[in-house]
Amino acid sequence: PKAWTEKAAKLRQVVADILPIDVHCSQPLAPDALPSAGADCLVSCFCLESVSPDLAAFTRALGHIGKLLRPGGHLMLIGALGESYYFAGPGVRIPVVPLNEAQVCTSLKESGYTLIRLEVYTLTQDMRVGVDDVTGVFFVKAKKD
């Protein structure tokens, strides 16, 4: 518990703000929401594929959020592979654009990022709990060109 308390305190010292954005707008934030140089790092976890109706929209969303990064800034992206839906509650089925590893890499490149690291974790059958049809998870570290 002490280690987590210390980590939380350090994180609160360096994180200035958490801002909601609309990744489908070409200008996802108000122009004065970030320093003019752009953000050092953006983090997105299981979001872009969930809010994008297709691969083209996913790629555009990557490009839109890239406008928020300073040149050389980093994108940390975690997402689902092979997932076409998930249940958000009883009777609430959310569509997801199903991605594969190659599509993620191509979308990053087309959106102006250099891939630094990609890790893929394939879910075993016993880890699939029936709330979605995900086959794996990807972890990306990329740099804005």
**DSSP at 131:** S
Domain assignment present for residue 4? The answer is: no
Task: With a cut of 90, say whether residue 97 has pLDDT above it.
Answer: yes
| Residues 6, 29: Cα–Cα separation, whole Å | 31
1: confidence class by pLDDT, cuts 50, 70, 90: confident
3: confidence class by pLDDT, cuts 50, 70, 90: very high
pLDDT digits (tens, 9 = 90+) for 11-67: 999 887 888 889 999 999 988 888 889 999 999 999 999 999 999 999 999 999 999
The pLDDT, as a whole number, for residue 72 is 96
82: confidence class by pLDDT, cuts 50, 70, 90: very high
Range of the domain at 86: 41-144
pLDDT digits (tens, 9 = 90+) for 119-141: 999 998 887 778 899 999 999 99
Domain assignment present for residue 90? The answer is: yes
Domain assignment present for residue 59? The answer is: yes
CA distances, 101 to each of 111, 119, 144 (Å):
16, 9, 19
| Residues 80, 134: Cα–Cα separation, whole Å | 6
Q: Considering only CA atoms, which of 97, 99, 95 is closest in space to residue 118?
A: 99
Residue 137 CB neighbours (<10 A)? 18
Instruction: Please give the tally of structural domains in the chain.
Output: 1
Domain assignment present for residue 61? The answer is: yes
Residue 48: which CATH number? 3.40.50.150
Domain assignment present for residue 84? The answer is: yes
Task: With a cut of 90, say whether residue 70 has pLDDT above it.
Answer: yes
The pLDDT, as a whole number, for residue 17 is 80
The pLDDT, as a whole number, for residue 105 is 98
Least confident of 5-14, 95-104, 105-114: 5-14
Domain assignment present for residue 123? The answer is: yes
Domain assignment present for residue 64? The answer is: yes
Domain assignment present for residue 29? The answer is: no
